[in-house]
Amino acid sequence: SAVISQKPSRDICQRGTSLTIQCQVDSQVTMMFWYRQQPGQSLTLIATANQGSEATYESGFVIDKFPISRPNLTFSTLTVSNMSPEDSSIYLCSVGVDGTGELFFGEGSRLTVL
């Protein structure tokens, strides 16, 4: 398994500002992902965070809005840029444990945009 720490756990932000969420894993992992869970909805994959290269974004998500960094195999950040109330969601970091396909999730970062 993997232990995943996310910061912040929650925040209230003003419209038009940006917030960076950090994800720290207790072991080196190849696969790291960022998900969004809008209120009352299930999870949607935003992007795959690639170490040493640009993230791979899913349809409907763009780098300008959700820039991602992955400087090493244990850490990643997701920035939510120029926030609007529609960005109010839980953002979750997830890692894949090599060889099993099992995914583990952080506790999530609950963002409320006013």
Partner 1 sequence: KQEVTQIPAALSVPEGENLVLNCSFTDSAIYNLQWFRQDPGKGLTSLLLIQSSQREQTSGRLNASLDKSSGRSTLYIAASQPGDSATYLCAVQTGANNLFFGTGTRLTVIP
Task: Single out the residue of 78, 76, 24, 25 nearest to residue 51, CA to CA.
Answer: 76
- Contacting partner 1 within 76-105 (CB under 8 A): 90, 92, 94, 96, 100-105
Label residues 66-99 b or e (16+ Cβ within 10 Å = b).
bbbbbeeebbbbbebbebeeebbbbbbbbbbeee
Under the binding rule (CB under 8 A), the answer on residue 108 touching partner 1 is yes
Query: Of 6, 74, 76, 77, which lies in the binding site for partner 1, with binding defined by CB under 8 A?
Result: 6
- 48 vs 82, beta carbon nearer partner 1: 48
- For partner 1, the binding residues (CB under 8 A) are 1, 4, 6, 10, 31, 33, 41-43, 45, 48, 56, 90, 92, 94, 96, 100-108, 110
